[in-house]
């Protein structure tokens, strides 16, 4: 078994990307790997007949689930006014899923040497647009693009999601064995999760991975938003906001710029924070439970994150 990272582009991957481009764009293609910040997609730059393209590839199962969803999101984001690459093709070759997109010239947000807080202001503005894109259902899988319908095999709506996480707080809960929480935390968790049922009406599209690494800054200053693999229909704006709280302090300059771009005042953010912290707890607990069946190698990391989020929330909220 190869010990290469799953996103490493091999010569075989380059051959597949070249085949796809030459087949679909009628001409000899030059291809080269691009090193990205993600951990799943293999990324190849291609040039054919003067046209520059990006070919993203991953295993068949992940790609067949995510690439049509990403294509849907990119199309709807562009229609809503967010600069986005155009998807030119999605398919499977030799058990490898692929998505071909137009190349966006520029520098990644992490490497950008200009005003990074300005980029976070833009991310906030884009997030507000994303949250208004019409989407139905609940979950991280696109079920019917024509109906804008999302779902999953886990829970079918917010109420089921909350109830599942309450029902999981049992004496034989794996989260107890992993020290995510203790018996003394159980009543607080039940009460906290129970109070989140009221968020059910506020469901909409969330990007799921709002970060500088998912921006491309062009020479003219246009900022393109990419990588919708983590998007879902979930509570807005709480899901995207809570994800950011995992990495940034509520009082950080980064979140101040983000919330300003979103259009929220400091007072509005402060009033939301108690609910966001509670939401963050249930979100990280659910991710830990998901990892047990779907990402075994990362179970300990997700357990540590959930335990840390719980400790912080209990300290802040009592």
Report how far apart, in Å, the C-alpha atoms of 65 and of each of 93, 231, 266, 297 are: 15, 12, 38, 21
The model's pTM: 0.93
Give the mean pLDDT of 287-306: 94
- Higher pLDDT among residues 1 and 289, named by residue: 289
Is 5's pLDDT higher than 70? Answer: no
- Higher pLDDT among residues 277 and 6, named by residue: 277
Give the mean pLDDT of 161-187: 97
**Per-residue model confidence (pLDDT) at position 36:** 67
Is 6's pLDDT higher than 90? Answer: no
Estimate the crossing angle of helix 266-294 against helix 186-194, to 10 degrees: 120
How many CB atoms within 10 Å of residue 200? 15
Smallest Cα–Cα separation from 280: which of 252, 225, 317? 317
**Per-residue model confidence (pLDDT) at position 110:** 95
> For residues 296, 300, 302 and 305, what is the CA-based torsion angle, rounded to 10 degrees?
180
**Per-residue model confidence (pLDDT) at position 69:** 97
Is 1's pLDDT higher than 60? Answer: no
Look at the block and give the residue holding tokens 């009082």.
Answer: 251
Q: Report the share of the chain in percent with pLDDT over 90.
A: 89
Least confident piece of the model among 78-82, 108-112, 126-130, 292-296: 292-296
Give the mean pLDDT of 15-36: 93
Is 38's pLDDT higher than 80? Answer: no
- Please answer whether residues 262 and 122 qualify as being in contact, where contact means their C-beta atoms are separated by less than 8 angstroms: no
Question: 186-240: per-residue pLDDT in tens?
Answer: 999 999 999 999 998 899 999 999 999 999 999 999 999 999 999 999 999 999 9
How many CB atoms within 10 Å of residue 290? 16
Question: 78-116: per-residue pLDDT in tens?
Answer: 999 999 999 999 999 999 999 999 999 999 999 999 999
């Amino acid at each position: 078994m190869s010990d290469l990272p799953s996103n490493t582009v091999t010569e075989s991957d380059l051959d597949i990307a070249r085949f796809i481009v030459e087949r679909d764009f009628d001409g000899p293609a030059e291809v080269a790997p691009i090193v990205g910040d993600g951990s799943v997609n293999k990324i190849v730059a291609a040039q054919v007949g003067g046209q520059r393209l990006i070919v993203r590839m991953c295993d068949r199962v992940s790609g067949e689930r995510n690439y049509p969803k990403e294509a849907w999101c990119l199309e709807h984001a562009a229609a809503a006014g967010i600069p986005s690459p155009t998807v030119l093709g999605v398919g499977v070759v030799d058990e490898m899923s692929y998505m071909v997109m137009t190349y966006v010239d520029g520098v990644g947000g992490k490497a950008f040497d200009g005003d990074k807080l300005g980029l976070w202001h833009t991310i906030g503005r884009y997030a507000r647009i994303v949250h208004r894109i019409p989407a139905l259902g609940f979950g991280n899988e696109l079920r019917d693009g024509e109906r804008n319908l999302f779902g999953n095999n886990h829970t079918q709506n917010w109420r089921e999601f909350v109830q599942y996480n309450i029902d999981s707080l049992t004496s034989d809960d794996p989260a107890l064995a992993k020290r995510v929480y203790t018996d003394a935390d159980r009543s607080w968790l039940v009460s906290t999760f129970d109070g989140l049922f009221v968020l059910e009406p506020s469901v909409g599209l969330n990007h799921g991975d709002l970060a500088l690494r998912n921006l491309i800054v062009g020479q003219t200053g246009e900022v393109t938003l990419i990588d919708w693999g983590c998007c879902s229909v979930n509570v807005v704006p709480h899901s995207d906001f809570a994800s950011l709280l995992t990495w940034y302090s509520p009082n950080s300059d980064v979140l101040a710029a983000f919330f300003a771009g979103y259009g929220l005042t400091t007072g509005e953010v402060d009033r939301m924070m108690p609910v966001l912290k509670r939401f963050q707890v249930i979100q990280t607990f659910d991710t830990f439970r998901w990892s047990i069946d779907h990402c075994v190698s990362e179970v300990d990391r997700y357990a540590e994150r959930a335990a840390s989020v719980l400790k912080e929330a209990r300290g802040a909220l009592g």
